Structure 1
Amino acid sequence: MEQFEHKNLAVVTLKKGEGRTIKAGGMWVFDNEIASVAGSFENGDIVIVHDFDGYPMGKGFINENSKIRIRMMTRNKDQVIDREFLTMRLRDAWEYRKKTVDISSCRIVFGEADFLPGIVIDKFSDVLVVESLALGIDRLKPVLIELLKEILLGDGIKIRGVYERSDAKVREQEGMERLKGFIGESFDTKVEITENGVKYLVDVKDGQKTGFFLDQKYNRLAIQRLCKGAKVLDCFTHTGSFALNAGIAGAKEVLGVDASELGCAQARENAALNGLEERVKFQCADVFELLPKLEAAGEKFDVVILDPPAFTKSRKSVKNAVKGYREINLRGMKLVKDGGYLATCSCSHFMSYELFTKTIHQAARNVHKRLRQVEFKTQAPDHPILWCADESYYLKFYIFQVCEEK
């Protein structure tokens, strides 16, 4: 059995009182938590981690270029990191998806939450898209893809192509180049998928992230029942996913808005694919500029959907993000007819549930609206939330009925 670790592993010893994250069940050891490293290693190698008193904490891969110095692979010091171990991790991830989500298109591996830190693998129909963000897991990428294809084939799913979208800036913090391109043979990178009865052409080469946001799958489904016969506004529509769910549910009129001309062009293409181009229209505009104009024109909607990009990707910019979320929610509420519905979300990990909820409450108070919560949801189960890894929880999604104060 091929192994991916050396015989004589370096031993990393933590400082006394450190290692709180991994002691709570998490996957990361930070650079300032380490007291010493005994033995030789190269960046990306597997090492053994000991607590300050020599108690074994498990194994992970090390990278001196990163503040996240070690990403844990196993809590068992005797576990060998080999093909059998990786097969077990991948099979566990796949079996979990088979029980919890529609697997026609889904995220099969979600990094730390699937105990394979630093790698994401999405399946769009019969195509895999891989995003590798950490050096140690990057070395294992070829074998992980090979093993996953074998597992899927065992269930009668033949993968016709693999595309790499390891082009995120965070790779540079790991001392790696940003990569994008085919792994193996080339293929048509426009992939047709069906989700919630809606067809999409997913552009795995030039679409955002890995090509399509699978995490909102069941949140998009949740708005369908509100949209029959409704006039709907979908803000930050990207490639039209919420707008098309409204259309397929029988909305009489849908306007999707996005600042990206490419996004709007793809959304129109998706509308035509579903025969919805007469009822679902798209406009390229800045949402922050358009909402006050719609209000001034006296426009009202039965359903308003706010699905913005992350307004903050760090703790430093949270204050500005709060202003942005408050502004769009305030404007969105003003455009909802009395008794209509607002769907609103945040995909920023740093915009906590408590802060997001408080921000929406402030917006409602500022425009004298009463909110009746219909439901609160988060990311789809193929993006599992590992309770001891805070970074795995990022998506917050509310549906409210918006009522006038009277």
Structure 2
Amino acid sequence: MNRPDRRSSGRPRPRGGVHESRHRVEVTVGGDMAIVNRRGALRLRRGHPWVFRSDVERRPDLPAGVVRVAESNGAPLGWALWSPQSEISLRRIEADGDRRIDDAWWHDALRTAIRRRAPLAAEANAYRLVHGEGDGLPSLVVDQYGDSLVVQLLSAGLDAHTDVIVRCLRELTGCSGILARNDPAAREREGLPREVTLLYGEVPPVVEVREHGVRYLAAPWDGQKTGAFLDQRENRVLIGSLARGRALDCFAYHGSFALHLATRADHVCAVDISAPALARVHDHAARNGFTNIEPVIGDAFEVLRAWHREGRRFDTIVVDPPAFAKTRNALDAALRGYKDINLQAMKLLAPGGLLFTASCSFHLSRGLFFEMLSDAVADSGRPFALRAITGQPLDHPELINVPESGYLKGALLEAMS
């Protein structure tokens, strides 16, 4: 496939927008260019791809898609995905205004992202191929499950390029099917329907995932996220390699942590409030030949309190709750919830035991996460040492200057007495 054109001199003149000369830059009204104010331009120059509606001085006369972007003084700012109805009006995908955003550009961008994941194939057959802003492809998620791909196109500007994205993914991966899990609420804010649609080939209802010697089933059509929690893969391996004695997996869901704990622990209690989820835990244990996993149905908060009253102790505990803070307004209540469940886990941990705890709430910053843990430790009346701090794995890159690309944070603690 031909590489994108680079023009050494001259550019196609837009119908409107920025006209350049040797002595001045003239900005004209309308056309296929978005004009942003100084605040929007500064945001782009600092490396963040988003421009909000309030920072767009002149909207392009085009439907959703890719548009040129310039500052109000005429300085070019590259190309961006344009979403006419969204609060995030522009998501920059290319800083070089001389690049052509054609099939070759999409092919190169996707190939670059996919190549970053090459080291993962030796130990797993399921991982994220494209992590949106983290890979310079805002609002695009591509997850691989065996021979199947699951995509999410979360902006109107990106959705307009579905066909070329599907075509490039087929060429680059040789996949047998591509499913669009376009059901997140974010699509409503873009004026897009929430739907699950088969885009190419066939994608089965369940796919067996191989992950560092452990096997479990992902559900691309109706499972959590795009079918499984791929972002915790390396954390599961970490605590699994250290597990011993009696282990506890709180908020177990389908038991991905419990399976890794079971490779070394004598016995694992997998606690979840969902009976169907625990049925899958039982099936996964059998699939791996484990007889040391005990599914326990119940609310994790209440179960842990009851076990503390009974005097139970565990040598290894995992606390991986759902996102308690889905909005900024929910943060205070979420902090109380995170502190409570971690405090209960600390009370149950045997001397010398290990606690791996995590949060997937974007609105809970790392600073607040560790402040919460510090408060829980103080209330427990026991000393805890910090043994490891974890973030997102290789396939979920978090850009330093794009905080929205990161959300997952974790800590490994040891009870010192």
Aligned to 1:288: 301
Q: Does 1:381 align with 2:402?
A: no
Aligned to 1:156: none
- Per-residue CA deviations over 1:95-139 (Å, capped at 9, x if unaligned) read 111146646221001111111111101001111111111111112
1:127-142 aligned within 5 A: 127-142=148-163
- 2:147 matched to 1:126? yes
* Greater shift in the superposed pair: 339-348 or 93-102: 93-102
* 1:215 counterpart = 2:228: no
Confirm whether residue 251 of structure 1 aligns to residue 265 of structure 2.
yes
Q: What's the counterpart of residue 21 of structure 1?
A: 43
Output the CA distance in 2 between the equivalents of 1:109 and 1:270: 27
CA deviations 1:186-214 (Å, max 9, x no partner) are 44221011101100111111210101111
1:21·1:388 contact (CA, 8 Å) conserved in 2?
Answer: no
Hey, what does 1:58 align to over in structure 2?
78
Judge conservation of contact 1:384–1:392 (CA < 8 Å) in 2: yes
Identify the residue that residue 235 of structure 1 maps to in structure 2.
Answer: 250
CA contact (8 A) 1:375 1:399 kept: yes
Q: Matched residue of 2:242: which SS?
A: coil
Q: How does 1:324-363 map to 2 (within 5 A)?
A: 324-363=337-376
Amino acid across the alignment from 1:402: A
User: Are the aligned partners of 1:181 and 1:205 in contact in 2 as well (CA < 8 Å)?
Assistant: no
After the TM superposition, which of the residue ranges 72-81 and 178-187 deviates more from structure 2?
178-187
Residue 7 (structure 1) shift: 6.3
Q: Is the 8 A contact 2:181 2:196 kept in 1?
A: yes
**Residue number in structure 2 paired with 1:203:** 219
Residue 329 of structure 2 corresponds to 316
Q: TM-score with structure 1 length normalisation?
A: 0.92
Shift of 1:294: 1.0
Deviations 1:148-195 (Å, cap 9, x if unpaired)? 221123xxxxx2222221111111000010011322334422101110
**Number of matched pairs:** 393
- Whether the aligned pair in 1 keeps the contact of 2:319 and 2:357 (CA below 8 Å) is yes
Counterpart of 2:25?
none
SS in 1 for 2:117: helix
Task: Give SS of 1:324's match.
Answer: helix
Residue of 59, 69, 76 corresponding to 1:49: 69
Gaps in structure 1 of 5+ consecutive residues: 154-158
CA shift, 1:53, in A, is 1.7
CA distance in 1, matches of 2:256, 2:13: 47
| 1:87 partnered with 2:100 | no
Where in structure 2 are the equivalents of 1:366-405 lying within 5 Å?
366-404=379-417
Q: Report what 1:11 is aligned to.
A: 33
The answer to whether the aligner puts 1:270 opposite 2:265 as a matched pair is no
CA RMSD of aligned residues (A): 1.9
SS state at 1:369 partner: coil
Amino acid in the other structure paired with 2:69: V
User: What secondary structure, in the 3-state scheme, does the structure 1 residue paired with 2:201 have?
Assistant: coil
Give the gaps of 5 or more residues in structure 2. Answer: 5-11, 16-30
Pair 85,6 (structure 1): closer, same or farther in 2 beyond 3 Å = farther
Residue identity matched to 1:395: L
Q: Counterpart of 1:77? A: 97
3-state SS of 1:54 partner: coil
1:228-266 CA-partner distances (Å, limit 9, x unpaired) = 4x1001001111011000112x21100011122222122
Q: Is the 8 A contact 1:171 1:178 kept in 2?
A: yes
Classify the secondary structure of the residue corresponding to 2:161: helix
Amino acid at match of 1:166: N
